[in-house]
Amino acid sequence: MEWRDEGIIIGARRHGETSLILEAMTAAHGRHLGLVRGGRGRRMQPLLQPGNRVELLWRARLDEHLGIFQVEPLELNAARLFDSAVAVFGLQTLAAHLRLLPERDPHQTLYDTLELIIGHLDDPVSAAELLIRFELLVLDELGFGLDLSQCAATGVRDDLAYVSPKTGRAVSRQAGSQWQDRLLALPAFLGKGAGRRGSPAEIDQAFRLTGYFFGRHVYEARGIEPPEARAAFLSALGRQFATKGESAA
């Protein structure tokens, strides 16, 4: 068995004295693991850092085997992200979300979004907005997608301000006004064609929204804790907004 694909490294675990088990999100083969012989060597270590985009050649005798990766660099992003707390915690959060998906299940849209986010992880506002969209996509891929296109009650497509915590469908400001304390806020920048950036408060609302559905459908259902990296990312983001003089989310 053999294939060649490009991928983004999301983790690596030591294996023996000289090798690593590499975990990568690939474009056409989903989240895939493989052994990298000599991966703990001085020459290979900088290449095998999470966030780096690489070309992977996977070989195994049988499809169900772990297999062996041969790795060639395409874009080494890791060192660029080291200085920013938002970037490193963002990277760990992305990896934690990807680990919710089954192995070897292709998710081309998620891969494309992941590539885009990694390019913007050192810009906190862009990173936050893209991460929210990534979380919505992950929920969708897991079968718990939110329908934010039209109001669940009236069918209107404008002025959507809430999301029903039960159905995950959007509700317009007018239809939801009576139950607003029971509904989740839908920040305007997430609406279709909003064409504007979210404020720190809106970004906070959006993370609460995705966090609620991750908690309800994924973490509670699987009996796992939410990733600590996500909380650390939000805390770092709050500090970043506070330093910039904006009201922290």
With binding defined as CB under 8 A, does residue 1 bind another protein?
A: no
Residue 13 to residue 23: CA distance in whole angstroms: 8
* Binding region for another protein (CB under 8 A) out of 56-64, 69-77, 128-136, 208-216: 69-77
CB of 134: closest distance to another protein in angstroms?
17
**Total chain residues near another protein (CB under 8 A):** 35
Contact mark string toward another protein, 93..132, x via CB under 8 A: --xx------------------------------------
Rounded to 5 degrees, φ, ψ at 188 are: -60, -30
CB within 8 Å of 84: residues ≥ 6 apart: 121, 122, 124
CB within 8 Å of 86: residues ≥ 6 apart: 121, 122, 124, 127, 128, 233, 236, 237, 240
Smaller CB distance to another protein: residue 44 or 146? 44
Question: First and final CA of the chain: distance in angstroms?
Answer: 49
3-state SS class at 55: strand
Type of residue at 182: R
- In the list 7, 39, 51, 124, the residue contacting another protein (rule: CB under 8 A) is 51
Rounded to 5 degrees, φ, ψ at 116 are: -65, -45
- In the list 26, 77, 113, 172, the residue contacting another protein (rule: CB under 8 A) is 77
* Binding region for another protein (CB under 8 A) out of 61-69, 73-81, 131-139, 145-153: 73-81
Contact mark string toward another protein, 203..242, x via CB under 8 A: ------------------------xxx--x--xx--x---
Cα 70 to Cα 40, 201, 222: the distances in Å are 14, 44, 34
Residues that bind another protein (CB under 8 A): 11-13, 17, 23, 45-47, 49-52, 73, 76-83, 85, 88-89, 91-92, 95-96, 227-229, 232, 235-236, 239
